[in-house]
């Protein structure tokens, strides 16, 4: 299903765990340095309200005066778990894209404010780079360097799966519990 900007609370609240979405609109990259910075009270150079942050350290090069995205897969989200919940609340984020899922603090913030966690396909750097149709800006580049900067990406039909919704459901928690039960059964097996 299509998830198109503007990312309003209604649209986000309508999403459920397991929904396969294609995101069209603007997303902001942000990884470790950006999360620490925002969490320590740093001002955001972009308006994040109703925005989506993407855990991604892209490879972007300048070709003929314009930015070209060479690779743009997700990085592991768990590292931002200590900060993400507070950042969602403070900046009124509507979505977080990453890989590997996040924990209970983020899930609680998603529920409170109406936000979701969108799982991109780990390793799919080329497919995902092609979904970035324009680079609309870059911020904090001097401070943090290219992979850690905030890149403003306009994306079209960027594929992801909702794995944590705004109703307290987490696919990660479910698969962990179910696989644990399965492990118990399989262990008895041989």
Partner 1 sequence: MESKVLQKNLLELIRRTSAELPDDVVRVIEKGWRREEAGSNAKYALKVVLDNIKLAKKKSQPLCQDTGTIICYAELPAWLPQAKFECAFEAAVVQATEVGYLRQNSVDSLTGKNSGNNLGPGSPSFHCSPAKGRALTARLILKGGGCENVGIQYSLPDGRVGAGRDLAGVRLCLLDAVHQAQGKGCGPGILGVCIGGDRGSGYVVSKEELFRPLDDVNPDPRLAKLEKQIMKDANELGIGPMGFGGSTTLLGCKITHRNRLPASFFVSVSYMCWAFRRNGIVLSESGKITRWLYDS
Contacting ligand SF4 (CB under 6 A), which of 122, 143, 174, 176?
Answer: 122
User: How far is 128 from 123, CA to CA, in rounded Å?
Assistant: 9
Residues in touch with partner 1 (CB under 8 A): 18, 20, 57-59, 61, 70-73, 75-76, 78, 99-101, 119, 121-127, 130, 159, 161, 163, 171-172, 174-176, 178-180, 182-183, 185-187, 189-190
Pick from 91, 92, 117, 109: nearest CA to 170:
117
Hey, CA dihedral for 12, 18, 24, 27, is it positive or negative? positive
Any idea which residue has 């299903």 for tokens? 1
Does the protein bind ligand SF4 through residue 123 (CB under 6 A)? yes
Pick from 20, 26, 17, 6: nearest CA to 131:
26
Q: Which is nearer to partner 1, 115 or 160 (CB)?
A: 160
Q: Is 55 considered catalytic here?
A: no
Q: In the chain, count of helices (H) and strands (E)? A: 7, 9
Q: Which is nearer to partner 1, 124 or 134 (CB)?
A: 124
Q: Which is nearer to ligand SF4, 6 or 122 (CB)?
A: 122
Which residues have a catalytic role annotated? 35
């Amino acid at each position: 299903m299509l998830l198109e900007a503007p990312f309003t609370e209604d649209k986000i609240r309508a999403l459920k765990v397991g929904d396969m979405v294609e995101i069209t609109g603007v997303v902001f990259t942000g990884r470790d340095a950006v999360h620490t910075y925002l969490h320590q009270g740093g001002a955001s150079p972009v308006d994040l309200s109703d925005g989506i942050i993407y855990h991604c350290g892209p490879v972007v090069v300048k070709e003929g005066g314009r930015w070209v995205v060479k690779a743009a897969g997700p990085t592991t989200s768990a590292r931002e778990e200590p900060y993400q919940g507070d950042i969602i609340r403070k900046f009124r984020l509507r979505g977080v894209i990453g890989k590997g899922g996040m924990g209970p603090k983020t899930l609680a913030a998603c529920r409170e404010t109406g936000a979701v966690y969108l799982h991109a396909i780990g390793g799919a750097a080329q497919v995902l780079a092609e979904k970035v149709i324009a680079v609309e800006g870059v911020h904090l580049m001097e401070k943090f360097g290219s992979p850690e900067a905030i890149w403003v990406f306009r994306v079209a039909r960027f594929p992801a799966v909702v794995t944590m919704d705004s109703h307290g459901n987490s696919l990660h928690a479910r698969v962990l519990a179910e696989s644990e039960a399965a492990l118990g059964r399989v262990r008895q097996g041989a």
